[in-house]
Amino acid sequence: MATNTVTNWFGDLVSHPRVIVDANSVADIVAVLKDPGTYPAPVRAVGSNHSTSPCGVAEGGTLIRIKMDRILQIGDDTLTVEAGATHLTMAKQLEAANKQFYVNTEIGSLTAGSASIAGTKDASMPGEFGQVGSYIIGVKMVRPDGSLIDVTEDGDPALMQKIRSSYGTFGIVYEVTYRIRGLLPMDVHHKTWDLEEFIAILPELKALNYSMMYYMFPFDNKITVEFRKYNPTATGTPNRSAWALRNHIWGTSGPKLGHDVEENFDDPDVRYGIIDSFNAAWRFQLENFVVSDNTVPGDQIIEYPPVSDDHRYTFSLFAFDEAEYPRILTEFYKYANDYYQQKGYRSNLLYVGYRILQDQKALLSYSWDTNVMTIDPVSTGNPGWKDFLADYNKFCFQRGGKPLLNQTFGLTAEIVKTAFGDRWTAFADARKALDPDGRLLNDYFRGLLA
């Protein structure tokens, strides 16, 4: 049987499934799972394949590409779609109906199926969850034996909690129902501090009750915070240019510059001098132009091309107890500078982070125990990136960091078991009960569960 070559969206994770199936109906998925002779294990399903870990790899097995993307129903407070529907498309349809998501996640190509069973990272709006799946209240999926199951938060909250972080190891989702809300104007603005100033004022910033996402510049000792909150009293025409500028810098011009500088300037002083100057201009634009008291929440979502190009970037994530975060962030700034001095490597973009409120909607939620704040290195994958992440993982592990199984590269069984403890055991038991033969279990998860 022929072997295919498949990569994730970024292009750095390569696998060779023996069979690739484009699923245009539930029957297509059922046919795969009922016929192990034709469709060998592991069976994995992907949408845009945007993950930065090998969670969607089907080496030697069967890869299902979900093509079902219809929007089935927009209700007063719910949205039901097929699993291949993307968040950008859904957000536009919701806006036309004067509705919106609770979490308007950055990656517009995120599919509903992936969001329903995998973690995401977005700063929590005041009093709300920050993970997309926490507002998914129902899924329909095909079990490993080919039978169908319909799970809802009202009907079986314990199973729904496990499914939200099952990463396709329980079954393959084909329909998803979200909880949605009415469309609200949103205020956004940015402010920059030196690291020490930010650490000192952080308790006051949290008391302001804004959402906080932030851009970190450890080589300039600065941090720029993006503040968001709903502003129902806003009047006039919404500002559609503020988020467009931010998205262009973040999703296009920034990665493009990092890529081109890496390709054309061998001298690190020149290379990173250009990048640091760009980042300074970025901070200026964020503070002075990405500001408005009336924006459309869905405008935060970025449209990425189906096939990545030289504008692409990749990232990794660890989350930390916010009570410990001032110390850890200070140590990280020193760590990043020391690593560059000792190893000659630094990211050719920047680092970002999010403040996410405590959330137990998913069994493997990284904010299960407390509010968290994250540190997320971002890069075009410049030489030395993977080695840096391996060392960075040690830094985070030593400080109690919690990862995302789909967005943290280089995880080990030790890291995952330490991060999630008894919840990891509960996940392993539930997975084995639903898929005793390991039909959906690839080498990545097999290794983490060892």
Establish if 44 belongs to a structural domain: yes
Confidence band of 3 (pLDDT split at 50, 70, 90): confident
pLDDT tens string 96-143: 999 999 999 999 999 999 999 999 999 999 999 999 999 999 999 999
Return d(Cα 433, Cα 289) in angstroms, integer. 53
What SS3 state is found at 448? helix
Which whole number is the average pLDDT over 226-246? Answer: 97
At residue 404's C-alpha, the angle toward residues 254 and 322, to 5°, is 85
Q: Do the beta carbons of residue 208 and residue 355 sit within 8 Å?
A: no
Domain that holds residue 124: 71-183
Q: Domain boundary residue among 146, 164, 183?
A: 183
3-state secondary structure of 48: coil
Residues 201 and 339 in one domain: yes
Q: How far apart are the first and last CA of the chain?
A: 30
Rounded-to-integer distance, Cα 100 and Cα 123, Å = 16
Report yes or no on 17 lying in a domain.
Answer: yes
Residues 222 and 276 reside in one and the same domain: yes
The total of structural domains in the chain comes to 3
| Predicted confidence (pLDDT) per residue in 239-287, tens digit | 999 999 999 999 999 999 999 999 999 999 999 999 999 999 999 999 9
Residue 390 sits in the same domain as residue 293:
yes
Tell me, yes or no, whether 280 and 406 share the same domain.
yes
- Tens digit of each residue's pLDDT (9 = 90 or more) over 309-368: 999 999 999 999 999 999 999 999 999 999 999 999 999 999 999 999 999 999 999 999
198 plus 249 within the same structural domain: yes
Provide the CATH number for the domain around residue 283.
3.40.462.10
Q: Are residues 93 and 61 in the same domain?
A: no
Residues 313 and 369 in one domain: yes
Distance CA 101, CA 83 (A): 16
425 found inside a domain: no
Prior bond to 42 cis, omega within 30?
Answer: yes
The CATH number covering residue 99 comes to 3.30.465.10
Last residue of a domain, one of 154, 183, 212: 183
Query: Collapsing DSSP states into helix, strand and coil, what is residue 226?
Result: strand
Residue 437, domain member (yes or no):
no
Give the pair of three-digit tokens for residue 425.
């055991």
Structural domain includes residue 122: yes
Contact 181, 226 (CB under 8 A): no
For 162, which DSSP code?
A: H
